[in-house]
Amino acid sequence: MTFTTRPTLEGTFGMVSSTHWIASQCAMRMLELGGNAFDAAATAGFVLHVVEPHLNGPGGDLPAIIVTADDPTPRVLCGQGPAPDGATVAHYRGEGLSLVPGSGPLAATIPGAVDAWLLLLRDRGTRSLREVLEPAIGYARHGHPLLERVAATVATVSDLFVEDWTTSADLWLDHGSAPTPGALFRNPVWADTLERLVREGEGAGTDRAAQVEAARRAWSQGFVAQAVDAFSRRPFRDSSGERHGGLVTGADLASWAATWEPATTLEWHGHTVAKTGPWGQGPALLQTLALLDALGDSAELDPLSSNGIHTISEAINLSYADREAWYGSGEEPMTTLLSTGYATERATLVGETADLDIRPGRPDGREPRLPAYVLGTGRTAPVDATTGEPTVSVADTTRGDTCHVDVVDRWGNMISATPSGGWLQSSPTIPELGFCLGSRMQMFWLEEGLASSLAPGKRPRTTLTPTLVLRDGEPWMACGTPGGDQQDQWQLLFLLRTALHGTGLQEAIDAPAWHSSGFTSSFYPRDRVPGGLVVESRIEASVVADLERRGHPVSVVDAWSLGRLCAVTRDAASGILRAGANPRGMQGYAVGR
């Protein structure tokens, strides 16, 4: 495989790869001030809330995976807030709903991103609360050049803002019009919120950890929780076409906190691939790697050939069928799902032509259960096409919905983080705080007895899926991408190219991309294209023709439109650090020295 590519960035001091150049520069500055990778990532995370508000926000979510310089054991930071206490299937059914809306207050989980970034700073960082929040405060207070995609997103939902989400109109519209791309944009209310968190933190004394903990209390039990409680239950229009109030209360914020958890891992060709638990989709990537090995193809498959694309996509569809049937319950049979025997059994289902069904397995003899909606009953057409998950439109073209940041420092600390949710188009802006809540509850099913059925206090089965990889037991790579259900698919191709084929980071990121759309979407209105594939136009026409001959409906999209990968690596022997970032969208950025 040969590609025209930019060189991978190299250095020995620190490397940052992110979906936004301002966040990358702020993270690098933190490293240069003496901070570690976790200080840098937290700094970038708070800046991303400001500069990429269409892709993530303070009311959203954050999963991350870390290793430290003195401990190579991957650990997961879970900043995925659960369903609030009042979120029952009966409540939504009582509102006449068959799906959780894709937008509006009724789709909101407990916000998790801010508490998770602060927990990372408290437990693994070295710099003060003020130092880490200062860049975000500055850009919110004094302004930043507004991305073209932010302005376009606001324009898309401007009628909704004017007609119903008037608090969002107050922040985002200028006399009813969307902001101009490139113009200086400010969010002074969010700057005020951050500054108050710093003041309340510093009021706890001079101890760094105590300051961070005080800021966390101000968020979950203080003025932020009070403002959320007062606003979140006001009714606003959502993607159902009706007006509904939300369910998140101040008591919900006080009852939940971000946590540290063990990673889910797979040993694979001398690598340890680490993902979140099955409250995220990450283990589906591990299942796919195991299944490809069971086919005997993983080291030989060319991800740009018709046989490679067909075989890999069929393996993906089988793993994602298991995601639908088994992930999210808290009682997943993960040992079996990741076992060689189970992968061997599943590999027998991969044939020469596209299979159009959803085929979950029977781990340990357990009978799978799929939602009635997936099986074709109870479907309703979406009312408002501007809401729901923005990564993939009806035509399956990429728009972006999430951020990603990877950092490795000179000591060997490493983090892969995928903040998302709380998009400006998710829910009405809370005027006292300068941000909105998220819409992650749309991933729950309103049907009892499923692995991902809605229940109070339960985490939605999120698509957010950072990756951390060890090579021969040593931390080697952190990577990830925005992209909803496509995140692990694009990372799968990236890992096959880098870990097995020896392709350089930037070359692997720049390679033509594709993904399957043959499984049920995690996002409202929960559709799929049986056997479907979405491919960049750089993939040869003869390959597309052969895929169609095999029974795959193929959508060909723009040449540089799929994938938003970022990555950093550290060579354990030499200490050389490397980074690469995605050129698609002209927004990804790698920086280091």
Q: What is the pLDDT of residues 179-189, one digit of tens each?
A: 999 999 999 99
In the chain, the percentage of residues whose pLDDT exceeds 70 is: 94
CB–CB of 292/495 below 8 Å? no
Q: What is the pLDDT of residues 121-155, one digit of tens each?
A: 999 999 999 999 999 999 999 999 999 999 999 99
Average pLDDT, stretch 562-585? 93
Higher pLDDT, 349 or 1: 349
Read off φ and ψ for residue 39, nearest 5 degrees.
Answer: -60, -45
Look at residue 235 and tell me whether its pLDDT is greater than 70. yes
Closest CA to 317 of 280, 346, 342: 346
DSSP, collapsed to helix, strand or coil, labels residue 203 as coil
Closest CA to 312 of 489, 93, 523, 162: 489
Token representation of residue 488: 């692990």
Higher pLDDT, 456 or 11: 456
DSSP, collapsed to helix, strand or coil, labels residue 319 as helix
Let me know how long the chain is.
Answer: 593
What is the spatial distance between Cα 2 and Cα 511, in angstroms, rounded to a whole number? 9
What is the pTM assigned to this prediction?
0.94
What pLDDT does residue 145 have? 94
Contacts of 377 (CB under 8 A, 6+ apart): none
How many helices and strands (H and E) does the chain possess?
19, 21
Q: How confident is the model at residue 6 (pLDDT cuts 50, 70, 90)?
A: low
Neighbours of 548 (CB within 10 A): 14
What pLDDT does residue 398 have? 30
Contacts of 163 (CB under 8 A, 6+ apart): 237
Closest CA to 514 of 459, 573, 561: 561
| Burial letters 218-236, b for 16+ CB under 10 A, else e | bbbebebbebbbebbbeeb
CA-CA-CA-CA torsion sign (532, 538, 544, 546): negative
CA-CA-CA-CA torsion sign (175, 180, 183, 186): positive
For 52-112, where are the alpha helices, taking DSSP H only?
A: 89-94
Look at residue 502 and tell me whether its pLDDT is greater than 80. yes
Distance linking the first and last C-alpha atoms of the chain: 29
CB–CB of 329/323 below 8 Å? no
Query: What is the separation of C-alpha 158 from the centre of its chain, rounded to a whole number of angstroms?
Result: 25
Contacts for 191-198: CB closer than 8 Å, 24+ residues apart: 191/137, 191/140, 191/141, 191/434, 192/434, 193/58, 193/224, 193/433, 193/434, 193/435, 194/46, 194/133, 194/136, 194/137, 194/140, 195/137, 196/223, 197/129, 197/133, 197/224, 198/129, 198/130, 198/133, 198/137
What pLDDT does residue 386 have? 29
CA distances for 302 relative to 29, 309, 473, 538, angstroms: 40, 8, 27, 15
- Asked, as a colleague might, if the bond just before 525 is cis with ω within 30 of 0, I would say yes
Look at residue 394 and tell me whether its pLDDT is greater than 70. no
- One DSSP character per residue, 374-386 reads TTT-S----S-TT
Look at residue 156 and tell me whether its pLDDT is greater than 90. yes
Contacts of 493 (CB under 8 A, 6+ apart): 303, 312, 508, 511, 513, 514
CB–CB of 524/485 below 8 Å? no
Neighbours of 375 (CB within 10 A): 10
DSSP, collapsed to helix, strand or coil, labels residue 434 as coil
What pLDDT does residue 10 have? 83
Q: What is the pLDDT of residues 412-450, one digit of tens each?
A: 999 999 999 999 999 999 999 999 999 999 999 999 999
